[in-house]
Amino acid sequence: MSTTLEQTIATIPRMRPPEIGDAVRDRWDSLTKPRGSLGRLESDVVRMAEIQGVSTPSAGRRCMYVFCGDHGITEEGVSLYPSVVTREMVKNFVRGGAAINVLCRQLAITTFVVDAGVSGPPLDGVVDCRVAAGTRNFRRGPAMSREQAATAIERGIELAHDAAASFDLAGLGEMGIGNSTAASALLCVLAGVAPKDAVGRGTGLDDVGVAHKCAVLIEALAFHECDPADPLGVASAIGGFEIVMMAGFILGAASLRLPVVLDGFISGAAFLVARAFCPAVSELVFFGHRSAEHGHTRLLAHGGPPLLDLGLRLGEGTGAALAMGLLSSGVALFREMATFAEAAVSDVKALED
């Protein structure tokens, strides 16, 4: 394990400070509404404060990192779209025409497009963190070397440092044709899910396509015999550059008290990698939405309840962006609502006390 990674994990907070949670709950109860009536928004703001380590959390400065990478496993015909679409979509992100661009404009989220390992020559307008021009086909060989996996993790940690210096809340998105196969493999190894429960339609496979994808996955898992106790080994065997870099970002953000909102199935797989390095990250991320991708509900059982369930299955960070809007609303309510005292509204509970 690299020094950067070890140091990062060592500084990830293991406990949520109880005094912060108490202070935030007390303020929620002082605001002009029945106690607890903002439901999940109240508890999520409590957790955001605990992560940030402050009694008044902030969500005004928001960023979205879209990690992009290509996958050698596409040679096996596991995706409806050809690999070149990754590159085409990166250009679409840079020009601002993709779904994530629209949402980030609408929700005042600064977007960063990260080339974690896109095939072909370097691209303009992206944050260049590329480890290599796409992974290798992991059906009968490692997707990347251990050194490459470590590099991807470290670059993710570095990006988290950049983000934490300027933002209060970060979203994670991704683009990579073939990456739902890698994510399914990670779900099998790191969460003990059976291949048939981990494989889904991705960008739109039919039943025959899903069965083929499942067969490829079963072969790959049998070939690698991954050891879940060796997360770097797992990441190098069956990961993807964008997934492993996201895992690094999650670890880095956790160490820096930067709350992270995950998107769907792929960023969820990155969470599993990060959790394999440091279980404490489970308490330090938000699950943005439940994806329509088949394996995501299984994955969320290892994470937490998502904020949204709208049948999205696009990726790019779209579900994370929408969830960041909700969390921002929660923080705005917490910071801006009048108290019973300020508004001269009768507080039954206060009278009872």
DSSP output for 260-324: EEE-SHHHHHHHHHHHHH-GGGGGGEEE-B--SSTTHHHHHTTS---SB-S-----TTHHHHHHH
Specify the residue, 85 or 190, whose C-beta has the smaller distance to a copy of itself: 85
Half-sphere CA count of 23, side-chain side, radius 13 A:
13
Specify the residue, 211 or 343, whose C-beta has the smaller distance to a copy of itself: 343
Catalytic one among 42, 50, 242, 316?
Answer: 316
Q: CA triplet 282, 285, 289: central angle to 5 degrees?
A: 110
- By CB under 8 A, what part of segment 309-338 binds a copy of itself? 309-314, 318, 322, 325-326, 328-329, 332-333, 336-338
Min dist. Cβ of residue 264 to a copy of itself (A): 10
Q: Is 76 a catalytic residue?
A: no
Contact code string over 64-93 relative to a copy of itself, x by CB under 8 A: ----------------xxx-xx--xx-xx-
Structure tokens at 51: 């992560």
Specify the residue, 40 or 140, whose C-beta has the smaller distance to a copy of itself: 40
Alpha carbon of 262 to those of 35, 73, 170: distances in Å? 29, 24, 9
Min dist. Cβ of residue 61 to a copy of itself (A): 15
| Residue partners of 121: CB distance under 8 A and separation at least 6 | none
Min dist. Cβ of residue 16 to a copy of itself (A): 20
Specify the residue, 180 or 255, whose C-beta has the smaller distance to a copy of itself: 180
Identify the burial level of 109 via C-beta atoms within 10 angstroms of its C-beta, where 0-12 means exposed, 13-18 middle and 19 or more buried. Answer: buried
- Distance (Å, rounded) from C-alpha 341 to C-alpha 353? 15
242 close to 117: Cβ distance less than 8 angstroms: yes
Contact code string over 223-262 relative to a copy of itself, x by CB under 8 A: ----------------------------------------
Residues that bind a copy of itself (CB under 8 A): 31-41, 80-82, 84-85, 88-89, 91-92, 95, 97-99, 102-103, 105-107, 203-204, 292, 307-314, 318, 322, 325-326, 328-329, 332-333, 336-338, 342-346, 348
User: Which positions are annotated as active-site residues?
Assistant: 316
